[in-house]
Structure 1
Amino acid sequence: MNILVTGTAGFIGYHLTKKLLNEGHTVYGADNINDYYEVSLKYDRLADTGIQKEEIEWFKWVQSTTYDAYKFLRIDLSDKERTAQMFEDFKFDLVIHLAAQAGVRYSLINPQAYIDSNIMAFTNMLEGCKNHDIKKLVYASSSSVYGLNSKVPFSEEDRVDEPISLYAATKKSNELMAHTYTHLYGIQTVGLRFFTVYGPWGRPDMAPMIFSKAVMKNDTIKVFNNGNQSRDFTYIRDIVNGIEKVSVQKIDGTNLVFNIGNGKPVNLLHFIETLESEFNTVIDKDFVEAQPGDVTTTYADTSKLVKYTNYKAQTSIQEGISQFVKWYKEYYGN
């Protein structure tokens, strides 16, 4: 298939691109390479897929030197005209929209970035699918839509009308917008509520990278909510396997939303202890209060995704952290 994947300089998009290419699909990647975190990591991800930094210019398709079936475009997807032109350039069979402004805490500082990247850009993607008769759109939602939901595990049937961060509000808005376009134009939309994705090439603003950097620099880490929180840490390989299943397989239904997680929440302190074991060290910890927008527990009920696709997360926290630390040492130096 000819597949448009947005966010291919990002963590999940990079891994998904490699998987799809290795399975024989043609991939057209798009990303704005913004500076929310260090762009060097984004350029290195792109380089690993054969997209060379010196070739990248705004709104110029770059051919991969590693994969004949991969082209990349630097584009701001909130730009209505250029996004429309991107859809004109090639005939896409499927759109997987992962590009977004990520981060709960950053949404407290720069709310406009979330409106531009998560609302305006998503509108342009929906319009592109509508105007070019693309029948399937898979897009990134987030477990943050569950807010302060006290019922666990989180189910897609739970009420999600009380987001506690602007980031979560934009992701819930995406689900509502997708529902509307499905109803009006017959596009099959599939939203994926990701649960704390981690692994090699991960985001520097996420806990595994923050903690590992502290190990390397012998720094102190802040442990929010005094460590009284759990996350459904999901290894990147399991995530991209799930995305590939809902994208490439034929699944029944029109407007679908799935949890995609490990289904086994891990206490933050246990996560830190496992990381310490892999680094063979003890990290100095500063226990602090919870930050605005943070939730205490995330826990995915993945039974719906299992029913539709036979998805199953298979990576234990021990294996996942081991693979992550191995990559981190190689990339950043030990």
Structure 2
Amino acid sequence: MTKPTHIVKSYIDIIVIAPPCDTMERKTQMDRFGAVALTLFALNLAFNQVVIKVTAGGFEPIFGAGVRSLGGMLVLLLWMSWRDVGIALPRAAVLGATISGLLFAFEFMCLFTALDLTTVSRTSIIFYSMPVWLALLAHKLLPGERLSGLRVIGLILAMLGVILAVLDRSSGEVSLFGDLLALGAALSWAGIALCVRLTPFSEVPAEQQLIWQLIVSAPLLLLAATIFGGYAREIELIHIAGMLFQIFAVASFGFLIWFALMKIYPASSVASFSFLSPVFAVILGWLILDEKIGVQIWLALGLVASGIFLINRR
């Protein structure tokens, strides 16, 4: 039986010891380590939603998103230099990198502001509906990605869940503008995935995909902060700790781990774990932030999570 300490060590070795993502051995099916690692990653992303909301008490949302991108960019540049991974892109991939970076900036401008306006539970249910919008776009634009069977059922369930979440008015902080921003973030996320699939940007290593999203988004978000919201509120130690968590555990090494797992395991198996993130986020919002969650939100969560699972099922 695999010991928990061995699982954690292997999870860390993906980033610290293993060779670059593109040289890792592929596996044909999910194993215990992959399942645990992906569950931990989903929990990490869910906890990050709580951290973003708490950090907004010290940093204005858009400025906070910009600082996160800037910090993640610097950490990732140091890591790539240490691992001798270059950042130069082929000319054919520049347009895809630019579009991806612009969407990345808009995604997190929307997400950070949404979490400042409304609850983690509502934002997460809407934000993690991304596979719904990606499936709809892929149905029209990507060969072999037609909607049929269980995927159509999953799509309907998830969309009903999003509608229920938006219509709920019993869960404390409620903001229609916040809901729309969360939806904008989800659509931007789907746009990034589609951009990577449709352009030569898909042919560059995962580390380069991430670093260029950060390089493009950091200055745009910091500039947007000067126009839309300012910089700081009342910064305390907890807000600085939250920002460091976002930089190291999500924006740099967190996504590197996810990219590495995508290189090791079948994409459909990795994607099927995405339904856990909104589940964890709603539970953490309830436990940590004492958010009020009515029956309608729990029902919406169940519909969205079930729909995401079916959409990604092969």
- Would you call these one fold, judging by a TM-score over 0.5? no
Where is the helix percentage greater, Structure 1 or Structure 2?
2
TM-score when normalising by structure 1:
0.29
TM-score when normalising by structure 2:
0.31
Where is the strand percentage greater, Structure 1 or Structure 2?
1
